[in-house]
Each structure stands twice: as structure tokens, then as C-alpha cells.
Amino acid sequence: MIVITGGAGFIGSAIAAELNRRGNADLIIVDVLDHPEKQKNLDTLRYRQYFDRDDFLEKALSRDLDGVEAIFHMGACSSTTETDEVFLRKNNFDYSKELALCALDINARFIYASSAATYGDGGQGYDDDESRLETLRPLNPYGRSKQNFDLWAKERGLLRELTGLKYFNVYGPNEYHKEDMRSMVLKGHLQAAQTGSIRLFKSYKPEYADGCQVRDFLYIKDAVAMTLFFYDHPHARGIYNVGSGVASAWNDLAKYIFLAQEKSPEIEYIEMPAAIRDQYQYHTCAVMEKIRKAGCDLQLTSLANGIADYVREYLLPGNRLP
């Protein structure tokens, strides 16, 4: 039996969908159904049981999880603009700590979502070398909450038993509930469809022209394949980057959206809100050597092909995984 927290959310529901495709419906889904799109994600899945997040925590605290062989902990507050650090500590740190301790006690695999937000402005690079964890300086409370759990696991020597995945900019079907945290692929698709143009933030650094800020974008199907690699290969423990290893400009992302819609590009550059200017990442790119050395040699989807698949197979017809 496999537990997936955040199982009605973006990455969690996509993991469940792929496990269903493999023929595995012996799943426990844990989430908070606070958005109708989450319910729609859940409705497409086959699973044994659903638990509200708080109810499942009670089971974990009592170790009432007979038969659970693995926990994919994808559930957390993922808002990079959340400022309530008490809320983030409770949801992203304390909850994760209790589930990890439970997994260790019941001898279950624990694969959890960390984040590329832990790398901050990239001044210390994007290398998932665990010896450098203490040097990272996240730019926002969300990133700090993820960093704090990584550090807690390291300080207690638990990274020999747990697997933490630093997801970069994941996009694709089943993210429809994420509101302002939806990927720019989805936001841009809607903007282009409704107004004929896509709005991107201006640059406030002279070394980056408008729209030339870059991100490591990863299609959800690749993110799931990489995540399940660690389930299929239990020897791979510790912290790993989950990205494409390619830095792509926002301008290119916008152009690929227009190409998928068969429209001419029309990009508008807008002011970045003052509240996020000091927290904005101008460059992210995952170092991928560690995950490759672990044996994960997947052929990843290019940004152009990933956007084309997302727009044409899911957004235009209104589909979701699986």
C-alpha cells in the first residue's frame, strides 16, 4: 500500500495517475479538498481510501498504518508568496517531520518534496550536494520552510534513509487548482487565448533583458517518471534535484505557447510587483549529475514539446491526467 499526501493536488495526483496506469490502485490519498479542481483530479483516480490531512496525521502519530510500504509526501503549502511563517512551519515542517518519523518507525520508504526555492538567488549554485545544504539562502518563507526540513533530516542523519526531491519549475495538466501558483504555461495559455498577448515581468537587472530571465522548466510527466525512479530504486537515498538541467528564457516559453496555439507571438512586458522584486529568481538551472549517477537516465521532454503536448492534448480539449 502506498500513501500519497497532496494526492488530489498537482504532482501528487499525477503520481497516483501513473501508479494507476501501472495497475496499482492500492493507494491512500491524503489532501484537503479546498478547491473544486482538486475534487476533479481525485475523481479520475482509483484508490483504496481518502483521508483529510489532519485525520491522516492522527493515524501517523498513532502508527496506525499497517501495510504501508511507501509514503510520497507531496502535500504542503506551495505558495512562494505566503508570509505566515507560523503557518508554514506547521504545514511544511512539523507535518513533514511527523510523517518522516512515522515512516521510519514502520519501515516504509519516505519520498518527499523539497524545492528549488531552497537555492535562493543561485549565488551558491544549484548543486544538490548535501554537504552544501547549510550554505543555501532561500529568498522567501516558503523556501526557508523546505530548507529547514532538509536541514533537520541531515542533522539527524536521516538522509541515509529518506529521499528528498528538489523540484524545479514543474508545469502540466492537473495544476488547474493552483490559482496564482499555476505555471506560466497555463497562465500564458489563458492570456493568449483571451487577449491575444502574454504578459511577462520586466527585468530589473541590467544583465537580463526583459523576458530573458531564465528558469529550469520540467514537464509533469518527466517529474513523475523521475519521482517514481526513486520508488523503483530504493537504494537511492538523500537529496536530489528534479529538473531538466536546461535554463530557458520566459520569452521562449511564451513563443512556444503561441506556436502550440498556432498564433503569432505578442508579448507585453509589465512591472513586477514591488513586494516580490527582492525575492525574484533571475536564473535557475538544476545540476543533474547526482540523479544521473544514481541511474536515472530518462530522455526528458524539451520545453517546446512539453508545452505543445500540454496545450494541445490537455488545455485546449479540457483534459487532465490520466
Sequence-distant contacts of 183-187: CB under 8 A, at least 24 apart = 184/250, 184/253, 185/217, 185/253, 185/257, 185/307, 185/310, 185/311, 186/310, 186/315
Q: Which helix (H) or strand (E) holds 170?
A: strand 169-171
| pLDDT of 308 | 98
| Whole-number pLDDT of residue 133 | 97
Tens digit of pLDDT for each residue in 94-111? 999 999 999 999 999 999
Alpha helices (runs of H) in 246-302, residue ranges in sequence order? 250-261, 274-277, 289-293
* Residue 263 annotated as catalytic: no
Q: What confidence score (pLDDT) does residue 81 get?
A: 81
Q: How many Å apart are CA 222 and CA 33, to the nearest integer?
A: 26
Round to whole Å and give the CA distance between 118 and 166: 8
User: How much is the average pLDDT of 282-310?
Assistant: 97
Amino acid at position 246, single letter: V
CATH class of 2-170+217-243: alpha beta
Beta strand 109-115 with 163-167: parallel, antiparallel or unpaired?
parallel
Confidence of residue 10 (pLDDT cuts 50, 70, 90): very high
- Condensed to tens digits (0 to 9), the pLDDT of residues 50-89 reads 999 999 999 999 999 999 999 999 998 888 888 889 889 9
pLDDT in tens, 17-32: 999 999 999 999 999 9
Q: Is the peptide bond before 206 cis (omega within 30 degrees of 0)?
A: no
Question: Which pLDDT belongs to residue 300?
Answer: 97
Q: Is 178 a catalytic residue?
A: yes
Exactly one of 178, 221, 255, 290 is catalytic; which is it? 178
Q: What is the pLDDT of residue 109?
A: 98
The pLDDT of residue 209 is 98
pTM for this predicted structure: 0.96
Q: What is the pLDDT of residue 74?
A: 98
Q: Identity (one letter) of the amino acid at 195?
A: T
Point out the catalytic residue in the list 142, 171, 219, 240.
142
Q: How many Cβ atoms sit within 10 Å of the Cβ of residue 317?
A: 8
